[in-house]
Chains A and B, each alone.
Chain A
Amino acid sequence: MEVLKQFLEYLLTPSTEVFIIGALIIFLLPVIVHFYIVQTTPYTSLPSILLVGPPAAGKTSLLTLLERGDSAAATHTSQIPQSVELTVSDDHGATTFREAARIDAPGSHRKFLLVDTPGHGKLRNQHAMTHIASNTLRGIVYMVDAASLDDGLADAASFLYDVLLALQKRTGAGKTSKAPTAIHVLIAANKLDLFTALPASLVRSNLEAELGRIRQSRSKGLLDSGVGVDDIGSEEQDDWLGQYGSEKFSFGQMREFDIEVDVIGGSVLDGKVDKWWDWISDRI
């Protein structure tokens, strides 16, 4: 008790030490809190490439192939997104992903995150949309299974429609404030090793045709719940993908919104992914 009393007395008498300690606390505490927060928040400023697409397109396979460099791991349905840190080289020291995957690859490097997302219908929109909103995003690889595009066309196209529309809205919103970096889309036609697979050019035309039909039917579809009658006029233009009122859809129309769409074929199984890798390298 006695000690406490003395201590209190000491604290309350204005002396140099007390002032100095007090001042130190006042000035240092914010700094400490700042560093504490900076240290605990995850390091997110690496540029990222998003990997999306319908189920079983080969997204996770591509991710593991690029990470391991030699061959892809076996995979099953994904439930959560998975990001992987990869390196591209600045000065063409390592031209292929195989070299880049080695730790001692020559040249100088830049790191980026490749983010794989689940393709299951219940999960994909949620994850894809949060990543599209992120400002570290540099590009989107939309993967489709070119061998099953006959059956899977409607599904593949409707998800692609959602993704492109989200990108279009993002650019649209950016026009008023600072313009976000343009985000390009690579449509990776996978599984070209199978003989039933369609070549990239056919994948392109099929998707364009289907996107056009979806655009048509969505414009005529029912309103979403929660959309009032008053919003109808203003909302309309927003949900139209590409050039407004145009008859046919083509990926070229997305240029209006600073979105380039490329369609490139390849095969994860055969390791023929160099063109995709080049595309990714250009984005970083």
Chain B
Amino acid sequence: MLDTFEILTTSGVVLWSRTYAPVNPSVINNFISDVFIEEKGAVAGARNSQPAASNPLYKADQHTLKWTFVKELGVIFVAVYRSLLHLSWIDKLVDNLKTIFIDLYGDQLKKPNTTIVECRKFDEYFDQQYRELESSGSLNTARPAAIAFLSEENAIQDDTGDEPPLPPGLKHRGKAQNNSQERPSTAESTPNTSRPSTPSGNHLVVAKGGPMGKMSRRARKIKNNSAPVSSGDEAPARKTKKAPKKGRKWDADGFADEEDDSLQLDYSAVHNTLTSDSEIDVVARSTAGEGVDSSSWGTKTSKGQFVLKDLDDEVHSILESAEAKNASKTETKGGLVGSGLSTISSLFRNVVGGKTLTKEDLDKAMKGMEDHLLRKNVAREAAIRLCEGVEKELLGVKTGSFESIDARIAKAMEASLTKMLTPTSSLDLLREIDSVIKPPATSMRKPRPYVISIVGVNGVGKSTNLSKICYFLLQNKYKVLIAAGDTFRSGAVEQLKVHVRNLKELTEREGGRVEIFEKGYGGDAATVAKDAVREAANEGFDVVLIDTAGRRHNDQRLMSSLEKFAKFAQPDKILMVGEALVGTDSVAQARNFNSSFGPGRTLDGFIISKCDTVGDMVGTLVSIVHATNVPVLFVGVGQHYSDIRNFSVKWAVEKLLSNS
């Protein structure tokens, strides 16, 4: 059933694992770098200790990963199983094991300067939970098949609908609610089955996106079809089961609602009800277990495993007390605050540092940071996500000596920004070109020209930036062929010719060589590009720079031709030119361009032009990178051919955090 279950730290050490079928380690490694480091996919940004059910599934070729994360201890719990299986109890297994593990070994995890956690005994706890939940899960295997099918569909969707937009609480709120209302009719035959399908339902909504429209319509259709069928033959059974539960759910709703903030009310309310629901479920079952021992635990006791019984009790008491703690935490909040002594000591700590940051401390300061970022022209969406990340990171952290809250926040923000803007693999363009045009003798590759194509909306300076890159290459004595791929706008070819003439004059002495490849107007850009590459290979050019027609990112017809273009020209690098200016919809442009090259191909980088005109307001850079996960490689800083620069993360971060 389960392939493997691992408990690992953020520093990369596996603390405990159980393997039933070997899984390639790269599955979990990719999971870590996608979800935690690169934060691909919207909701990814590892939310602290939220139940596994509300974390998005992670899918890797044949496997599905369910996970949860405890931030303050830096521990990740991940279960890997075959995507074909539909394990309804897996969320609960992950959550319960998390609670138990933290309860048993939390103290050891807090020890500094060691990676050793003595947890061999956890085997028994794992076995106990696994057996218990699996047996409770198998009672439900007679689930309507339609549901399994439905969530499979969801999963596919989730897989291919790459990088859905951020979780805009407001936007999909309504739909999420719809889903949860629909859910009872399809899946709520027992509490256990309802849990895993709800989050994937949410996910379906989040993952909506252009190219996958068809798929989701199909999925929706199936869902609609399945609803009446299942509700038809299950209705009576469900009624009886649900009736007693209703009462409990009510209190759960009660306090869940209290602490919700207004924005995401519905969204989190759904989750909250689910968690408390599940936990209450555990309580209910454990108390029931004591009374009616023969019914569900009968098999175990009949085999004479008395030791197990003790373990059962222990596990249940751990889960219960964790539940109780959760409940009391929400109730007694704010009771202690305001007593004079603690205020004075907190003031004192404010000055000398060593203060443990609380939500109230952070809230105000974070608001300031958010405004600061907005002033720097960072899109609201990105600013909010950055601030949320920092706030989560700092909650419960102690400030250093003589360090104010603001300084601590600035430090954390600097780290977040640096992480976001730093590319996963840095680009040394000349080095890369060299390795393609003169491959090392040991690698069996044939020399070929290096192909760069430049895309973007109208008037952002595609040809200008292309010429700047060309100038740089010519200075380094490369032979460059410029392909006029803009066969659409009249005058585009002539404009390029002017650039080429200028470049020839400028670099005559340097020893580079530049020519233009053009086929006039009206032809197919993809074919022109392909021919240019072939010609370059024959004529011994080193680099091909392809100019493309500027296009509105919402012009379906022109955008769809980009896919063919990418297939025909096979560029090594597709760079998009964007503007740093305030008030342009750069983010939407970047998103649309990034997803227009067909499956498996995205932009390789951005050139951000006109950076000299915006001063410190370089927030557009952040918004674009945030929206696409594609790095900024170059920035344009002026009118001259030499006014192009490597993008320096440090420079950008300094500008963003500077106060002026």
Contacts and interface: CB of A to CB of B under 8 A. Distances in A.
Contact of A122 (B74, B112, B402, B419): B419
Contacts of B38: 122
A75 B647 CA distance: 34
Interface of A: 33, 36-37, 40-42, 56, 60, 63-64, 67-68, 73-85, 113, 116, 118, 120-123, 125-126, 150, 154-155, 158, 213-214, 217-218, 220-227
Interface in B219-266: none
B502 interface: no
A258 to B, nearest CB: 26
A76 B116 contact: no
Contacts of B74: 80
B11 A226 contact: no
Given A33-B352, A76-B28, A118 B116 contact: no
Interface in B352-374: 352-354
Given A37-B353, A64-B115, A123-B37, 20 more contacts: A60-B11, A63-B115, A67-B116, A73-B115, A74-B14, A76-B32, A77-B32, A82-B115, A83-B112, A113-B113, A120-B37, A122-B38, A158-B431, A217-B431, A217-B434, A222-B634, A223-B646, A224-B645, A225-B647, A225-B651
Q: Is the interface of B mostly helix, strand, loop or mixed?
A: mixed
A121 B424 contact: yes
A194 to B, nearest CB: 15
A74 B646 CA distance: 39
7 contacts: A37-B352, A76-B14, A76-B32, A120-B37, A123-B419, A213-B434, A221-B646
B423 interface: yes
A165 B24 CA distance: 36
A120 B353 CA distance: 32
A122 B11 contact: no
Q: Identify the interface centre among A60, A76, A126, A220: most chain B CB within 10 Å of its CB.
A: A76
B401 A40 contact: yes
A155 B13 contact: no
Contact of A84 (B6, B114, B647): B114
A155 B398 CA distance: 36
B414 to A, nearest CB: 9
A96 B652 CA distance: 47
Interface in B467-513: 472, 475-476
Contacts of B476: 220
Contact of B115 (A33, A67, A126): A67
Nearest to A217: B430
A128 B578 CA distance: 32
A121 B401 CA distance: 31
B610 to A, nearest CB: 13
A224 B654 CA distance: 14
Contacts of B442: 150
B645 A122 contact: no
A174 B625 CA distance: 37
Contacts of A113: 113
Contact of A126 (B116, B418, B434, B654): B418
Nearest to B632: A225
Contacts of B659: none
Q: Identify the interface centre among A82, A126, A158: most chain B CB within 10 Å of its CB.
A: A82
B115 A220 contact: no
Given A154-B435, A224-B646, A80 B11 contact: yes
A122 B651 contact: no
Contact of A125 (B9, B17, B422): B422
Given A68-B116, A120-B37, A150-B442, A75 B651 contact: no
B14 A122 contact: no
Contacts of B317: none
The 3 closest A-B pairs by CB, nearest first: A226-B651, A78-B12, A82-B11
Nearest to A218: B428
A283 B476 CA distance: 43
B12 to A, nearest CB: 3
A84 B648 contact: no
A79 B424 contact: no
Contacts, number: 154
Contacts of B17: 74
B443 interface: yes
Contact of B422 (A63, A121, A154): A121
A216 B354 CA distance: 48
B646 A225 contact: yes
Nearest to A209: B440
Contacts of A150: 442-443
Nearest to A86: B113
B28 A121 contact: no
B173 to A, nearest CB: 31
B611 interface: yes
Given A63-B115, A121-B423, A220-B430, A81 B401 contact: no
Nearest to B19: A74
B428 A217 contact: yes
A85 B634 contact: no
Nearest to B415: A126
Interface string B284-326: 0000000000000000000000000000000000000000000
A222 B646 contact: yes
A225 B354 contact: no
A76 B401 contact: no
A23 B349 CA distance: 24
Interface string B13-33: 110010000000100110011
B637 interface: yes
Contacts of A67: 114-116
A50 to B, nearest CB: 15
Contact of A227 (B402, B611, B645): B645
A153 to B, nearest CB: 9
Contacts of B353: 37, 40
B405 interface: no
Contact of A85 (B29, B113, B400, B645): B113
A33 B349 CA distance: 11
A225 B611 CA distance: 10
B10 interface: yes
A250 B360 CA distance: 56
A158 B426 contact: yes
B181 interface: no
A168 to B, nearest CB: 18
Interface in B424-461: 424-426, 428-431, 434-435, 442-443
Contacts of B428: 154, 158, 214, 217-218, 221
A8 B443 CA distance: 89
Contacts of A80: 10-11, 74
Given A64-B115, A77-B37, A126 B646 contact: no
B434 A155 contact: no
B25 to A, nearest CB: 7
B283 interface: no
Nearest to A36: B352
B105 interface: no
B543 interface: no
Q: Identify the interface centre among B10, B352, B354: most chain A CB within 10 Å of its CB.
A: B10
